[in-house]
Amino acid sequence: MTASSLLNRRTLLTCAAATAAMTSGLALAQNTWPAKPVTLIVPFPAGGGTDAFARPMSGAFSKQTGRTLVIENKGGAGGTLGAGLAARAQPDGYTLFMGAVHHAIAPSMYKKLDYDLERDFVPLALLAKVPQVLVVNPKAMAVENFQEFLKLVKANPAKYNYGSAGTGTSHHMAGELFKLQTKTFITHIPYTGAGPALRDLVGGQVDMMFDGLGSSAVHIKGGRIKALMVSGNKRSPAFPDVPCAAELGLPDYTVSTWYGLWAPKGTPADVQTRVVEEINKLAAADDIKASWATNGAEFGTLTPKQFGTFVSGEIKQWAAVVKASGAKLD
């Protein structure tokens, strides 16, 4: 064997060993996910509905896996700013995105987004679904029930306002649909998230919100705001004394807020599987069940494929709603 052929053989063996080590390391990293802290991008400020579900998940995840789930709040532009950042994250399973119904509405509200929810993300799980709730500041609107509220609003067009988590969010669309179905006029005030809007509602800077029940629940129970109606055709088990829209003569007022989990496109398939496995374990945890029940929600049971189909349907449905309502960016 010549010196040249021996050198070539050694080079080939070294490359093969390096490749095997890299492959083995990647497989090990994927099979042992999570091997380090995981970042969860929440595209709204703290205190909103998305954050209200993300925080309990963080604690349960750490208890379950021994790794930290770091909540990174990136609010702005109706949740689309954080979505764009998540879409550009490294697709290694260590950055995940917790979006919501707002992200199914956004394609119909924004002329240009720097991401595509279906193209740039991999759907993983439907985490929660809650009805929308009409809540008022009891000092700004001293009404006992929905009937008194509706009479007051109809008698005073443009006098009252409602806060939302931002233009194009479910809060915004819920408000516009309410106005459309009740033939009322209420001024929209967009915020950077439900948390800041709720703070101003509690403080009396805005009169009402059409909020997701998850973020309003704690304030309703604390007496800081008053719930007058939940959307849909049934009452929430968490608030059985609050009538539903169908009872109050609004059978088509069926707006709800849902929250889901995505990974950036390109995340390895077996890492996706590990994430979903851990999420399914979370759903069965007693503390998560209790937290979800307190917020009037249930953990989703859709497979990743079913969740992707669900999201596609939501995008189409909300496009029709946006068109019918005439809602536009403020």
Q: Which two tokens stand for residue 179?
A: 């106005």
**Phi, psi (rounded to 5 degrees) for 47:** 100, -10
CA distance 207 to 137: 6
12 by Cβ neighbours in 10 Å (0-12 / 13-18 / 19+) ranks as exposed
Instruction: Give me the chain's average pLDDT, please.
Output: 90
CA distance 131 to 294: 13
pLDDT at 321 over 50: yes
Determine the pLDDT at residue 327. 79
Determine the pLDDT at residue 295. 86
Higher pLDDT pick, 159 / 295:
159
Contact residues for 33 (Cβ-Cβ < 8 A; gap 6+): 93, 271, 274, 275
**Phi, psi (rounded to 5 degrees) for 78:** 60, 30
Q: Which two tokens stand for residue 171?
A: 């809060």
Name the pTM for this structure.
0.82
Q: Which residues partner with 258 through β-bridges?
A: 129
Residues 89-97, mean pLDDT to the nearest whole number: 98
pLDDT tens digit sequence for 35-80: 999 999 999 998 888 999 999 999 999 999 999 999 999 998 889 9
Domains identified in the chain and CATH numbers: 37-129+257-325 (3.40.190.150), 131-248 (3.40.190.10)
CA distance 64 to 58: 10
Q: H/E/C letters for each residue in the chain?
A: CCHHHHHHHHHHHHHHHHHHHHHHHHHHHHHCCCCCCEEEEECCCCCCHHHHHHHHHHHHHHHHHCCCEEEEECCCHHHHHHHHHHHCCCCCCCEEEEEECHHHHHHHHCCCCCCCCCCCEEEEEEEEEEEEEEEECCCCCCCCCHHHHHHHHHHCCCCCEEEECCCCCHHHHHHHHHHHHHCCCCEEEECCCHHHHHHHHHHCCCCEEEEEHHHHHHHHHCCCCEEEEECCCCCECCECCCCECHHHCCCCCCCEEEEEEEEECCCCHHHHHHHHHHHHHHHHCHHHHHHHHHCCCECCCCCHHHHHHHHHHHHHHHHHHHHHHCCCCC
Determine the pLDDT at residue 41. 98
Task: Look up residue 63 and give its amino acid.
Answer: K
Higher pLDDT pick, 122 / 328:
122
pLDDT tens digit sequence for 115-124: 999 999 999 9
pLDDT tens digit sequence for 180-228: 999 999 999 999 889 999 999 999 999 999 999 989 999 999 999 999 9
Determine the pLDDT at residue 9. 52
Residues 135-139, mean pLDDT to the nearest whole number: 97
CA distance 166 to 106: 11
CA dihedral 289, 291, 295, 301 (to 10 degrees): -30
pLDDT at 20 over 50: no
- Asked if residues 173 and 211 have their Cβ atoms less than 8 Å apart, the reply is no
Lowest mean pLDDT among 10-14, 42-46, 138-142, 278-282: 10-14
Contact residues for 91 (Cβ-Cβ < 8 A; gap 6+): 263, 264, 265, 266, 267, 268
Determine the pLDDT at residue 330. 62
Determine the pLDDT at residue 117. 98
pLDDT confidence bin for 296, thresholds 50/70/90: confident
